Each structure stands twice: as C-alpha cells, then as structure tokens.
C-alpha cells in the first residue's frame, strides 16, 4: 500500500517528525529558513499534508497547486495569519493550529519582560559585561517597582488571563480592554474593564495579547503612545505588526514613555540597522514567548496529530476553517 505523503517545512520538533514518519512518507526541509515559494507550490501538488511554521507564507498560488490532493496544512502555531484561509477553504483544504498549549509559557515570558524592563535587568547585565561596573553605585540602575502598580491587559483571552493570575502575587491593580465583557473573569480576579484609551492613559504597564487581524494591525501607533504616561511601559508578546515600531522608537527617544519590552517586531527578524536597537529603554527578544522546550515540543506534536487525524479521516483536534 502506498503511504500518504507529508511535507514538513522544518525539522525543529524531532518528536513530531518521528510520529509522522511512523505512519506516512515524510519529506523534511532541512534548511533553517522557510522553503521558497516554488518549493511549496511543488510540494502542495505532490503531498497530502504539509506541516508549517508561522513564518511560512501560504498564499493562493500554493493552495491552488494543492487543490484535489492536499488535504491539510497544519500550522505549528496558535496564529495563522500566514495562511490565506479563504483560499484554503475554497479549495477544500483544512487549516489547523495548536491552541491551548502555550498560554502558561507566554504568560511567564510576559512577566519576565515586565520585570526585566522595570528593574533594568538587561541594562545591568550589559553594563557588567562591558566593564562598566567598577564601583558600588546603584544610581545608574534604579528601576521601577512592579508590585502594587496598575497593569493594563489588552486582549483578555487565554494568555491574558494567565498574566492576570501572575499579577496577583505582585498585588497589582488589573484593568483590561476586550471586545466583549468578561463578567466571569471580573468576578474571579477582580479585574475592571476599561476602554483602550483609558488603559493607555492610566496604567503603569500595558501588555498586549491580541491576535493579528485588520482591526489590530498598528493598534499602537503615535496617537496611542501619546496617551501613555511618561512613567509607563509597553509590553508586546502578541504579533509585531500590532505596534508601529518607528512610532515606538520616537516615543522612547522623546521620553513619552519610560520603556518597552517586546518579543515580536515588524519585520522579523528586525533589521540590524534599525534605530530602535540603539535605544537603551527597550528590551527586544527574538519571538521566544512560547519557546520553552516542553511547550515547543507539545505544539509540534499537536500539529502532527492534526495531520494524522485528517489523513486517517478522524475528527481533527483543532481546525480553523
């Protein structure tokens, strides 16, 4: 019996690859960069399933090539804005993601960023490594407290809720902005719903946890940054295009806000010559909020299980179309 064919765009999760290889004929792209479009078009025509990463751009041309043969594209991510969902649906190709896995890990990273930027952890580490710690003098490293401060959560989904849980230990007053009222969470955690402008203008820390879509793209730009307090901090662990990076650099340089800590940029990777990299009041990490070993692996296995279910005509765990 001829095995069904699967193409994996990276070999990053060996456990997932081995699981697929036990059942299917699997080809893996072994470069660390995304396969070029012509390769994806070819594989879509030849394979029954493709396992993708969030930086693989799956457009109409690729999906058209897979029409009639490609059953599923399993994205190893929660977000799926890298895939043309409408075109996939029109060609009867199932798209899946990996929800319900990374929330705790991303919430950990959110608080790591809050604490690091507030208490100048990275700034201090850099000073030591550069030989600048020559006398006991704390003045250059005076930071901002986190406990007892106002935290604004923009987007109170699974990750946002986990951030709220962590804030309890810091005795923070928590406010949130969301499209719908979260009555149950308000009662559970004592959080208060506010409009976005009020969140920005009153909170000491503003943390973004919204999906990327036309409504949220450049949600934070010059106008919104201008509403924030000079003593406040912006945290972004969602998607890069949600924040206007040039506007953020201008706000930091002008002292409109105290600092920022971001795990995502637009574009990614950020160009090495971008002026924001010269700013001491920002921490930038390379899109690693979900990158604990356990979570990274679990997301890969979840993507593989979506493929297995689709190719064996079983119920698919997490379809998005």
How many whole angstroms separate alpha carbon 74 and alpha carbon 54?
10
Same-domain check for residues 154 and 86: no
- 222, 172, 170, 167: which is closest to 200 by C-alpha? 222
Neighbouring residues of 128: CB distance < 8 A, sequence distance ≥ 6: none
Which pLDDT score, from 0 to 100, does residue 37 have?
98
Percent of the chain residues past pLDDT 90, beyond the cut: 99
Same-domain check for residues 208 and 123: yes
Domain count, the chain: 2
pLDDT of 3-37, one tens digit each? 999 999 999 999 999 999 999 999 999 999 999 99
Is the distance from CB of 312 to CB of 49 less than 8 angstroms?
no
Neighbouring residues of 123: CB distance < 8 A, sequence distance ≥ 6: 141, 280
pLDDT of 249-288, one tens digit each? 999 999 999 999 999 999 999 999 999 999 999 999 999 9
pTM of the predicted model, to two decimals? 0.93
Position 317 in a domain: no
- Integer CA distances (angstroms), 198 to 92, 103, 117, 257, in order: 44, 26, 23, 15
The mean pLDDT value for 113-140 works out to 97
Neighbouring residues of 129: CB distance < 8 A, sequence distance ≥ 6: none
Is the distance from CB of 276 to CB of 254 less than 8 angstroms?
no
Which pLDDT score, from 0 to 100, does residue 1 have?
75
Same-domain check for residues 95 and 182: no
Per-residue pLDDT band for 112 (boundaries 50, 70, 90) equals very high
Which pLDDT score, from 0 to 100, does residue 244 have?
98
User: Which residue range forms the structural domain that includes residue 47?
Assistant: 5-101+294-311
Position 321 in a domain: no
pLDDT of 59-108, one tens digit each? 999 999 999 999 999 999 999 999 999 999 999 999 999 999 999 999 99
Overall size of the chain counted in residues: 321
The mean pLDDT value for 147-153 works out to 98
Is the distance from CB of 71 to CB of 96 less than 8 angstroms?
no
Strands 173-177 and 233-236: unpaired
Same-domain check for residues 214 and 86: no
Position 319 in a domain: no
Which pLDDT score, from 0 to 100, does residue 56 have?
98
- Integer CA distances (angstroms), 69 to 34, 47, 189, 320, in order: 22, 7, 48, 19
DSSP string, 16-77: HHHHHHTTSEEEE--SSSPPPHHHHHHHHHH-SEEEE-TT--B-HHHHHHTTTT--EEEESS
51 phi, psi to nearest 5 deg: -105, 120
Position 316 in a domain: no
Same-domain check for residues 48 and 196: no
Q: What is the mean pLDDT of the chain?
A: 97
How many whole angstroms separate alpha carbon 262 and alpha carbon 165?
20
Q: Which residues are catalytic?
A: 239, 268, 287
CATH number at residue 229: 3.40.50.720
- Local structure of 224: helix, strand or coil: helix
pLDDT of 180-217, one tens digit each? 999 999 999 999 999 999 999 999 999 999 999 999 99
């Amino acid at each position: 019996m001829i095995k069904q064919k699967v193409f994996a765009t990276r070999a990053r999760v060996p456990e997932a690859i081995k699981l697929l290889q036990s059942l299917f004929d699997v080809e893996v792209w072994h470069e660390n960069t995304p396969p070029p479009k012509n390769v994806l078009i070819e594989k879509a025509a030849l394979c029954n399933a493709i396992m993708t990463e969030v930086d693989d751009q799956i457009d109409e041309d690729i999906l058209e090539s897979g029409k009639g043969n490609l059953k599923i594209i399993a994205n190893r991510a929660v977000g799926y804005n890298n895939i043309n969902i409408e075109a996939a649906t029109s060609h009867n190709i199932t798209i899946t993601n990996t929800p319900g896995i990374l929330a705790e890990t991303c919430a950990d990273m959110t608080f790591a960023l809050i604490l690091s930027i507030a208490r100048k952890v990275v700034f201090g580490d850099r000073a030591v490594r550069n030989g600048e710690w020559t006398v006991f003098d704390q003045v250059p490293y005076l930071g901002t407290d986190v406990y007892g401060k106002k935290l604004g959560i923009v987007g109170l989904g699974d990750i946002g809720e986990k951030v709220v849980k962590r804030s309890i230990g810091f005795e923070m007053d928590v406010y949130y902005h969301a499209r719908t009222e979260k009555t149950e969470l308000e009662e559970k955690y004592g959080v208060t719903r506010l409009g976005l402008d009020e969140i920005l203008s009153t909170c000491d820390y503003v943390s973004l946890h919204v999906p990327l879509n036309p409504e949220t793209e450049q949600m934070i730009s010059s106008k919104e940054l201008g509403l924030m307090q000079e003593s406040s901090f912006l945290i972004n662990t969602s998607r890069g295009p949600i924040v206007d990076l040039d506007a953020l650099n201008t706000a930091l340089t002008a002292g409109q806000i105290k600092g920022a800590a971001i795990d995502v940029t637009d574009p990614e990777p950020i160009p090495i010559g971008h002026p924001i990299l010269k700013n001491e009041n920002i921490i930038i990490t390379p899109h690693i909020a979900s990158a604990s070993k356990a979570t990274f692996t679990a997301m890969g296995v979840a993507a593989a299980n979506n493929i297995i279910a689709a190719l064996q005509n079983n119920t698919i765990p997490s379809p998005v179309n």
